[in-house]
């Protein structure tokens, strides 16, 4: 059985007052109400949800906003060094390095631009990496993928 949730009335203009319980188990891609479930009344299966919103100020600016070739190269250099440190010191590979995951920020005392590598949600530990022929799902920016990986994908279709 899947997780059960109780929907509460907390959204403007949407009436959830019936408090209908849903069994989130997927039956052939269909979500069904769990009314026939014997465990429906067990409180441990219900989770109270809370909407949380975080408003963040931009930490940097996109790599594309480089004001000079030097600033662009500094951004690339710094993120290359950051990736090397992630690999050597943490045993971590980023998994999705692209222009969208490099930002520029003025961080040091002199106000010089620094490159920052962001978005580590596709990262993985080096020792847990699958062999290229065992890849199940391909994610990331295709134009930055290794040719060997792309060839392997096309051969295994």
Any idea where the domains of the chain sit in the sequence?
Answer: 4-45, 61-155
At residue 72, the pLDDT reads: 94
Task: Report d(CA 148, CA 152) in Å as an integer.
Answer: 6
pLDDT at 86 over 60: yes
Task: Report d(CA 79, CA 101) in Å as an integer.
Answer: 9
At residue 122, the pLDDT reads: 81
At residue 107, the pLDDT reads: 66
Size (the chain), residues: 157
pLDDT at 81 over 90: yes
61 CB burial (10 A radius; 0-12, 13-18, 19+): middle
63 CB burial (10 A radius; 0-12, 13-18, 19+): buried
If residue 106 lies in a helix (H) or strand (E), which one and from where to where?
A: strand 102-106
CB atoms within 10 A of CB 87: 13
Helix, strand or coil, per DSSP, at residue 93: strand
Say yes or no: domain 61-155 is CATH 1.25.40.850: no
Give the pLDDT mean for 95-100. Answer: 88
**Which alpha helices (DSSP H) does 59-126 contain, by range?**
69-90
Task: Report d(CA 114, CA 10) in Å as an integer.
Answer: 43
If residue 94 lies in a helix (H) or strand (E), which one and from where to where?
A: none
**What does the pLDDT look like over 33-69, one tens digit per residue?**
444 444 444 444 445 566 677 777 778 899 999 999 9
- 96 pLDDT band, cuts 50/70/90, is confident
**What does the pLDDT look like over 105-148, one tens digit per residue?**
876 677 788 999 998 888 888 876 555 445 455 666 677 777 77
At residue 128, the pLDDT reads: 60
114-125 burial by CB neighbour count: b if 16+ within 10 A, else e? bbbbeeeeeeee
């Amino acid at each position: 059985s899947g997780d059960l949730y109780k929907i509460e009335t907390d959204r403007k203009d949407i009436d959830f007052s019936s408090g209908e319980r849903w069994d989130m188990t997927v039956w052939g891609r269909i979500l069904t109400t769990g009314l026939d479930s014997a465990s429906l009344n067990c409180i441990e299966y219900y989770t109270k949800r809370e909407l949380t919103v975080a408003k963040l100020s931009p930490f940097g600016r996109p790599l594309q906003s480089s004001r000079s070739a030097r600033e662009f190269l500094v951004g690339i250099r710094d993120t290359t060094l950051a990736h090397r440190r992630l690999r050597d010191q943490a045993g971590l590979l980023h998994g999705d390095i692209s222009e969208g995951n490099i930002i520029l920020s003025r961080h040091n005392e002199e106000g010089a631009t620094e490159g920052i590598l962001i978005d580590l949600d596709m990262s993985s530990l080096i020792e847990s990496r699958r062999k290229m022929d065992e890849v199940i799902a391909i994610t990331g920016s295709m134009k930055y993928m290794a040719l060997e990986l792309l060839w392997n994908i096309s051969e295994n279709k």
